[in-house]
């Protein structure tokens, strides 16, 4: 196993689209949302144990989740859990992890991934990451993984690539597009040169630190100035003091869309970002009427079909005459909504917060 390979797991989000199961105090990355016996972050950590030494895996998360990370990933040392005092999107958390790793190992190659994705083919995933780390180690490039699309999905961002390649397989990126309309997504699929944006990145420490210097110089300065305290007792206090001055910006918008050395590797490893209840429904086991029941022991369905039901295991639930609905209960809250309107959940959460405060959020 290559000791210069490192992983950064981003675990600071609150997963509001999975409310009411995902709460601010216990978001979806710390939940066994698929009923597999392991939480999403535990599965992510286990995947990266196949790529790099366990001491080379870092988690960047909100400070309030430190206890959850320690409990669910007990093998992680305190200095591997990098905490953010405030939410500032993906660019600052990636900068923090990358600069810290660069200070330890200037020749490091780094993979960055969210903590809450599903990977069905782990062997293919590991092979893809190792291939990308090897190329990133030898080239001044920023690599992103693109998933070969199976349908015109409006829930994903898209990456357009050119025929120009690096080592044959890594295609030069032409454009990034945020979530498109259905009609535009259909044209993307038909063109054959678009991939889903998986939000998984691979680069050398030198390449990403250089990119911050070129495209986000103020953020570069913040984390470069902290080089003297990385891996010392003063690290946390200085980073927390500086974090509030970081721009609230994504790595995609801040660097990837602007840099001229971005390459995408078309990939297939059974990926889902588990972004919505619909994605859970698609992946879950279903009964003969298309109902996905998690858990299923005490849910009884009459004349009901194509529903996503996730309720406490000890509760008896009877549903009759319900078709294409999401039914979720958790934390003294019951959510019932049509499956095709689940994108409204984030608005519901905002409305609940405004009306009832943070008690139910």
DSSP track, 193-229: -EEEEEEEEEEEHHHHHHHHHHH-HHHHHHHHTTTTT
- Tens of pLDDT, residue by residue over 279-317, are 888 888 899 999 999 877 889 999 999 999 998 888 899
Section 5-34 average pLDDT: 90
pTM, rounded to two decimals: 0.92
Examine the fold and report which residue of 272, 295, 311 is the final residue of a domain before the chain moves on. Answer: 272
Q: Are residues 166 and 52 in the same domain?
A: yes
CATH number, residue 196: 3.90.550.10
Bridge partners of 308?
292, 326
Statement: residue 54 has pLDDT above 90: yes
Q: Are residues 118 and 248 in the same domain?
A: yes
Q: Is residue 60 within 8 Å of 112, Cβ to Cβ?
A: no
User: Residue 89 and residue 92: Cα distance in Å, rounded?
Assistant: 7
Q: What is the pLDDT of residue 27?
A: 92
Examine the fold and report which residue of 252, 272, 292 is the final residue of a domain before the chain moves on. Answer: 272
Q: pLDDT band for 253, please (50, 70, 90 cuts).
A: very high
pLDDT-wise least confident of 149-158, 200-209, 214-223, 236-245: 149-158
Q: pLDDT band for 33, please (50, 70, 90 cuts).
A: confident
Q: Is residue 147 within 8 Å of 268, Cβ to Cβ?
A: yes
Q: What is the pLDDT of residue 344?
A: 84
Helix H or strand E encompassing 308 = strand 308-310
Q: What is the pLDDT of residue 276?
A: 80
Which SS3 state, helix, strand or coil, does residue 189 take?
A: helix
Q: Are residues 265 and 293 in the same domain?
A: no
- Tens of pLDDT, residue by residue over 117-162, are 999 999 999 999 999 999 999 999 999 999 999 888 888 899 999 9
User: Residue 92 and residue 255: Cα distance in Å, rounded?
Assistant: 11
Statement: residue 39 has pLDDT above 80: yes
User: Residue 334 and residue 336: Cα distance in Å, rounded?
Assistant: 7
User: Residue 88 and residue 184: Cα distance in Å, rounded?
Assistant: 30
Statement: residue 4 has pLDDT above 90: yes
Q: pLDDT band for 60, please (50, 70, 90 cuts).
A: very high
Q: Are residues 10 and 68 in the same domain?
A: yes
Q: Cβ contacts of residue 313 below 8 Å, gap of 6+?
A: 295, 297, 298
Q: What are the structure tokens assigned to 189, written together?
A: 């699929």
Q: What is the pLDDT of residue 114?
A: 96
- Structural domain tally of the chain? 2
Percent share of the chain, pLDDT over 90: 76
Q: Are residues 220 and 289 in the same domain?
A: no
Q: What is the pLDDT of residue 154?
A: 81
- Tens of pLDDT, residue by residue over 68-122, are 999 999 999 999 999 999 988 999 999 999 999 999 999 999 999 999 999 999 9
Q: Are residues 243 and 286 in the same domain?
A: no
Statement: residue 268 has pLDDT above 80: yes
Q: pLDDT band for 15, please (50, 70, 90 cuts).
A: confident
Q: What is the pLDDT of residue 10?
A: 97
Q: Are residues 260 and 354 in the same domain?
A: no
Selection from 235, 240, 250, 259 nearest residue 174 by Cα: 259
Q: Are residues 211 and 108 in the same domain?
A: yes
Q: What are the structure tokens assigned to 311, written together?
A: 């309720």
Statement: residue 343 has pLDDT above 80: no
Average pLDDT of every residue of the chain = 93
DSSP output for 64-109: GGHHHHHHH-TTS-GGGEEEESS---HHHHHHHHHHHHHHH-TT-E
Q: Are residues 216 and 334 in the same domain?
A: no
Selection from 201, 130, 137, 139 nearest residue 165 by Cα: 139
Section 13-35 average pLDDT: 87
Examine the fold and report which residue of 272, 304, 326 is the final residue of a domain before the chain moves on. Answer: 272
Residue-number span of the structural domain to which 195 is assigned:
5-272
Q: Are residues 167 and 289 in the same domain?
A: no
Question: Using the 8-state DSSP alphabet, how is residue 339 labeled?
Answer: G
User: Residue 63 and residue 45: Cα distance in Å, rounded?
Assistant: 19
Which SS3 state, helix, strand or coil, does residue 32 take?
A: coil
Q: Are residues 316 and 223 in the same domain?
A: no
Statement: residue 37 has pLDDT above 80: yes
Q: Are residues 284 and 203 in the same domain?
A: no
């Amino acid at each position: 196993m290559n000791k210069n390979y490192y992983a950064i797991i981003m675990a600071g989000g609150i997963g509001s689209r999975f409310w009411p199961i995902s709460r601010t105090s216990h978001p979806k990355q710390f939940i066994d949302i698929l009923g597999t016996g392991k939480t999403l972050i535990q599965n992510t950590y286990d995947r990266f144990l196949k790529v790099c030494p366990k001491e080379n895996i870092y988690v960047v998360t909100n400070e309030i989740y430190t206890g959850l990370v320690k409990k669910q990933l007990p093998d992680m040392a305190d200095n591997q859990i990098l905490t953010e005092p405030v939410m500032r999107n993906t660019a600052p958390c990636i900068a923090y992890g990358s600069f810290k790793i660069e200070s330890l190992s200037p020749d490091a190659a780094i993979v960055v991934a969210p903590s809450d994705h599903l990977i069905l083919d782990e062997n293919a995933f590991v092979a893809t990451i190792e291939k990308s780390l090897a190329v990133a180690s030898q080239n001044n490039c920023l690599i992103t993984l693109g998933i070969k699309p199976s349908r015109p999905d409006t829930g994903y961002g898209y990456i357009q690539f050119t025929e120009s390649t690096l080592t044959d397989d890594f295609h030069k990126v032409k454009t990034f597009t945020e979530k498109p309309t259905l009609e535009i997504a259909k044209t993307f699929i038909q063109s054959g040169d678009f991939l889903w944006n998986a939000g998984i990145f691979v680069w050398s420490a030198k390449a990403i630190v250089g990119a911050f210097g070129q495209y986000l110089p103020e953020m570069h300065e913040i984390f470069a100035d902290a080089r003297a305290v990385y891996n010392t007792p003063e690290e946390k206090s200085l980073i927390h003091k500086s974090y509030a001055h970081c721009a609230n910006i994504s790595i995609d918008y801040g660097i990837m869309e602007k840099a001229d050395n971005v390459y995408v590797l078309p990939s297939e490893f059974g990926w889902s970002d588990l972004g919505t209840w619909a994605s859970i429904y698609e992946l879950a086991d279903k009964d003969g009427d298309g109902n996905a029941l998690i858990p299923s022991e005490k849910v009884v369905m009459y004349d009901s079909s194509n529903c996503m039901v996730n309720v406490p295991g000890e509760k008896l639930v009877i549903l009759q005459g319900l078709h294409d609905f999401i039914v979720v209960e958790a934390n003294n809250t019951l959510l019932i909504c049509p499956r095709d309107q689940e994108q409204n959940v984030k608005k519901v959460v905002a409305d609940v917060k405004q009306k009832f405060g943070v008690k139910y959020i």
